[in-house]
Structures are given as structure tokens and as C-alpha cells.
Chains A and B, each alone.
Chain A
């Protein structure tokens, strides 16, 4: 049975700029928004768009991600024909290879795609927070008679040179592609989400693989080759919420935007476009006497006896009496002990912040750093972690880190 379109999700990224958060897990598995992981967004988008076959290309630290995806049931992707498949690099008769680039990752899985005999393949990225209807994108692709389409966002002109840019004519047809140019001719940034006609994609993947000088990358090789050959290439304008959460500050910012759906546009309270995730299975959260909770999101298993302001607490976080949590993202299973002050920072999973310890600081003047504490770290009593610190080892009581 042929599928009209299947999705290939690039989830191999190491996310090195998230350093302390991605020591033990791949970037798409990084927790987000109280009860989600980043990969929940593309996966939920697929299901909500009617795509029931997703290949997830993994390579870096796949353990957490593999376990998290499991059989795909939380996303309704446990299917008889199709469903979700985790695709790590594998050994072949001709030898084995790590995924050399984004295009090579897809190339090595041509036989997976062929099993479903799709007309179209959508290439997704596992490190973006975005709610997007891929079926609308496909409709555009078909209406234009395109062979390749890319989703683009308008970005401010002064930031355009940080992106891969699509120069288009009045009919959205792509005439030129500029990768991080000094002098941008367009402000339409590629979101790294592509729809290909499968026959075209396959042809260019094989051709690209045969080129020893290629970096096997979509942006650097495949797209320029399509342009060179004058293929029908179109840019699909997306104007919903989209955020690349590749850095600590952008990850922190995106989490904070979840707290303000009215202005930021990232609404997780959307009955018609639910974001699915694997459930923690904990009881409802408790807010004790004397606690102060303001403008925050709190989920199952949390215990709050202290003060929580403008923060996101993931499942099972404990905030003891007298502790203050402000402008913070605190991931699952972390305990913040009595009297500790945790501000303007990201604290990863299963961390203990000791009594009266201080983590991060509210921004003042030029100082806007987001302190980061990696998973399973123990921060001793009275320790102090500065606003620009990135901590991935235990901190002894009373010690200071900047």
C-alpha cells in the first residue's frame, strides 16, 4: 500500500551549543515546555497533519531518545503499516558509515522509504519548536506543481545574514539560494523543512552520494544542485510560531514564551492541535500552605512549598519552603531545597540544589546570562552559581562557580 507522503525526521544533531544539557542525550530529546521533549512537536505535527509514517534518523546519544519514542504509542504512531521507526546508521554488506551529513542520512535509508512507495517525502528537523500543519504545506506543493518546496519564515532584514535565504519571484518560485550571505537579497529564511517529490529526491541523493567533494548536506549540496538544473522549486510561507532552540538562551526564551501564549503565539492549550508526549504517570501536583505561585506552569508530581514566579516546572519538581524560583526552567525530578534561590536559568533533570544555594541571577544591565545546570548534578548547600556558568559536575557546599 503506497503512502502519499511520509516524513523523515533528522534527529542526529549533537546540539553542542546546549552543552551541559546534551551531554547524555540528543538535542531532540531535550525537555521543553513543562512536559514535552522537543521531538514531540514535529511528531505531533505529523500525526495532526495525517502523516502516519515517520523515520527518525538518530546518531548521537540515542539511548534516551530511543526509549522515549518506544513503539510510538503516545503519538498514535504504533501502526500496522508505517508508524514511527528509529533509524540509526547500520552495517551494510559494503561496510558501514556514520551519517556524513543530512542528505547522506536520508540516502542511507532509501530502502526504508521505498517500502512505503510514497509520492512525497517531507524532511523535518528535530530541533525546532513549531506548530505546523504539514498537509497545508503539501497542498501548496501540489498546487504549484513543485518538485521541491521549502518552508520559509520572514525574518528581520538585519538578521537575515544568519540564515539560509530563498530568493523568490512573485509566484514564490525560488530563483536563488543564499547560505548565510553578507549581502542578503531576501529575508525569507529556510526553516529546514522540505517537501520533495520522491523520484526527484532519490535521483539527487544518488547523484550527490557519487560526488566525492560533496558534504552530503541539503543546504550546501542538494538545494544548489536542484537550482543548477532549473527544477520547479517553491517557497512556502509559514507565519506561525517557529523557534530554533539550538542555544541555551533561545531554549530558555522559548520556554518563557510558553508562559505567555497570548503574545508569543506558542499556544499549548490548543484542543485542535494537541502536542502529545510520553506521560510521567505521577499524581496531580501539590501547592502547599504559604506557597506563592505566579505566572507559571506546573505539571504532575510537583510539590511547591516555596515561591515560584514566571517559571516552568517539569514533572516531579520539588520546591521546598523558603526557596525562590524565578524566571527559571526546572526540568523533571529536580529538588530545590529550602532557602535556595534559583533565578533566570535552566536546571536540567534530577538535579539537587542544596539549602540556601544560589543559582543564576536576575538580569541587571549588560548581565543577561542564563545559568545552566546539567542533569544529575548535586549543588551543595550555600553554593553559588553565577549567571554565566554552565555546570555539569557536582558543586561542593559553599563553592562558587562563575
Chain B
């Protein structure tokens, strides 16, 4: 059979690291957090998979997944409405008591039968808290070439301050790697490492048969954590290789990080780096183009379609359908879908969620180190 696709299926864990941005996941999950003007976090990994030739993607959801279901629909925008494979959203299975998975292992255990039925040789797994334009096929090639059992992607960078600051209280884990010529010889959970380090991206390639074997074993032993219980326990037995990613990456590590990563895309090089070489797909809203009315004054912004700008906007990222009325001033803000800034309002360092209204004449300001978040549907 002619097959231009890679021989791998994809699995995405959309709830991973929900805990780092509790404000943003009140009514959604990590994967459906709006990002970069017209996207949701999952668009990046999902598009990357599709662009790498992966046509069979499962998304194992845990909770708050209505917004994600709404966003993904049948998967058409990602070209995943397929007879074979395509998009497969796996909600928690309702038994007598609905069981919601804790770790990645339990999530995988819930789709064991599905995994057994698939034909692809490899499995690619990823979280959705990173925005990258990732070439999975190159990583799979590296995996095959090195003869690894498991390959995990990482970046060489300093751990973000937010991650370090919350490392002790956080319920979310991050992993740093010790490497010996590409092989992972050590893994540490929530390390207090202030230098440049090998920082795991939460992306794995593993042979499907091996994954099934490992899950079955671990699950029957009551393990829940893939990294800690399978990888770290067996670094001597399993050949775990590290794959260094050097491209552009935006990680969601907290509210400040979320704000900064959006703002970082105002730099043209960054925007180009994230959105090339392959396109990132997203749900289409059929908004009209953005309209700048006489009197509008804009500088250094990125705006999606559907906005109406009559006031002043500077250094900001505007999502779809944002309205800035006459005399309003918006500076250093990230305004999500359908935010309305009424006449004469003046805002600075604000992250507004969907459908927020800043009423006429109000002044709301955060600072560069502490952007103020306004929750969904709130009226200030």
C-alpha cells in the first residue's frame, strides 16, 4: 500500500499541567486555553502531528472538556475527519462510579483495548501545555535510528521562574534529565535547577507493543505515573534516548508566563518561528476582517479577525471579536475573544478572558510582573 504517512499514532493528554494556571482552567482545560490571537493550545501539537503525517490521534480527556469538544468538533479543520484513524476523543469511561484518571498511565490503561487494535508501529505522546511547530517525523526517525525503547524530547534552557517558585507547592510535575551521549541516565522530578538544564517537553515516542506491555505491567502493580513509575524506575533496563528540540517553544507555566508568551509573539521573528515551516490549524469562526475606524490609533499589536477598533491600542494581543470603543486606551494587554472595552476605559497589563466587558470610563491596571486576570463573562 502506498503510504505517505508516518507509521505512528498520536495521543494527547489535554489536562496535563492544568494546575499551573488555575484561573484559566476554571471552565476549560490546558488544551483549550486560547493562545496567540486565534488559536487554542492544542492546535499546535495537533497540527504538528497532522503535518508530520500522523492521521490517527486520540485525545484522552479528564475533566472540563466541553470547551475542547466544541473546539475540535469532528476534527475537520485539522483534516482528521477520516474513515481510518482520524480524531478520537476519549472521555472518562462511566462505570458504576465514574472513574477519572490520575496519571498518564491510568489514562493509557483506559485505552488499552484500542491500542491493541491499532496497526501503527509507533506511538507519539504529548501534553498540550506547549506551543511548538514540531516535526514528529524527524523525532520518530531519530528514535528508529538510535534503536531506543523510548525517546523523549527536551529543550536546553533555564527553568522558568514561575516553575521554580511553585515547585514545592505545585501538584504538577516537571522533569529534568541527566544525559550520557543522548541516553537518559537520570531523571529528576521538580528539580531546583537554576542553570541551563535539560527540560523535558512531555513528548514521547515509543513502540506501540512495548507501550502496551509496560502499561499492562505497571497498571496491575497500581502505578499511575508514566515518568516516575515506568521510565525512572527502569532507566537501566530501558534504552531511553533524549531528543533535543531547538526550535521555538512557548510553555504555559503560569499566568505571568501565559501573558509573556503571548506578548513575545509581537516580535515578528518569534511569530514567524512558531508558525513555520508548517501551518497551524484552528477552528474557523467566520468573522469579518478587523475594522479600524477613524480615530483608532494602534501600534505594535497582533489582532485576529472580527475586531472593531475605535480607540488606542498599544503592545497588545487581541483575539477574535474584541471591541475597543472610542476614547478607550489599551496598553500591554492580552484580550481574549469578544472582550469589550467601552468608551473612555483605560487598561494596562490586563489578561481578559472570553466575553469580558470593561465598562465605560473604568481604569484597571496590573503591572509588568503581575498582569491582572479578569475571568470569563465578568463585567468590570
Do A and B actually bind? Answer: yes
Residues on the A chain within 8 Å of B319, using CB: 284
Residues on the B chain within 8 Å of A303, using CB: 268
Residues A274 and B36 in contact, CB atoms below 8 Å apart: no
Residues A285 and B292 in contact, CB atoms below 8 Å apart: no
Tell me, yes or no, whether B163 is within 8 Å of chain A by CB: no
- CB under 8 Å from chain B, chain A span 239-298: 259, 268-269, 274-277, 279, 281, 283-291, 293-298
Distance A259 CA – B293 CA, assembled complex (angstroms): 8
- CB under 8 Å from chain B, chain A span 174-225: none
Q: Tell me whether chain A's interface is mostly helix, strand or loop, or mixed.
A: loop
Residues B36 and A286 in contact, CB atoms below 8 Å apart: no
Residues on the B chain within 8 Å of A313, using CB: 289
Which one of B15-23, B150-158, B294-302, B362-370 contacts A?
A: B294-302
Closest partner residue, chain B, to A75 (CB atom): B286
Return the contact of A283 from the options B76, B271, B293 (Cβ within 8 A): B271
In the complex, which range does the number of interface residues on chain B fall in? 20 to 34
Residues on the A chain within 8 Å of B305, using CB: 35, 284, 299-300
Tell me, yes or no, whether B266 is within 8 Å of chain A by CB: yes
Tell me, yes or no, whether A401 is within 8 Å of chain B by CB: no
Distance A283 CA – B111 CA, assembled complex (angstroms): 35
Residues A269 and B300 in contact, CB atoms below 8 Å apart: no
Distance A35 CA – B38 CA, assembled complex (angstroms): 16
Tell me, yes or no, whether B37 is within 8 Å of chain A by CB: yes
Closest partner residue, chain B, to A261 (CB atom): B291
Residues on the B chain within 8 Å of A312, using CB: 289
Distance A80 CA – B212 CA, assembled complex (angstroms): 39
Distance A296 CA – B297 CA, assembled complex (angstroms): 12
Tell me, yes or no, whether B308 is within 8 Å of chain A by CB: yes
Tell me, yes or no, whether B148 is within 8 Å of chain A by CB: no
Tell me, yes or no, whether B88 is within 8 Å of chain A by CB: no
Return the contact of A291 from the options B286, B293, B299 (Cβ within 8 A): B299
CB distance from B283 to the nearest CB of A (A): 10
Residues B292 and A275 in contact, CB atoms below 8 Å apart: no
Residues A35 and B288 in contact, CB atoms below 8 Å apart: yes
Distance A313 CA – B303 CA, assembled complex (angstroms): 14
CB distance from A265 to the nearest CB of B (A): 15
Tell me, yes or no, whether A73 is within 8 Å of chain B by CB: yes
Listed in ascending order, the chain B residues whose CB lies under 8 Å from chain A are 36-38, 76, 266, 268, 271, 275, 279-281, 284, 286, 288-296, 298-305, 308, 317-319
The 6 closest A-B pairs by CB, nearest first: A284-B37, A34-B289, A299-B289, A268-B288, A284-B304, A297-B289
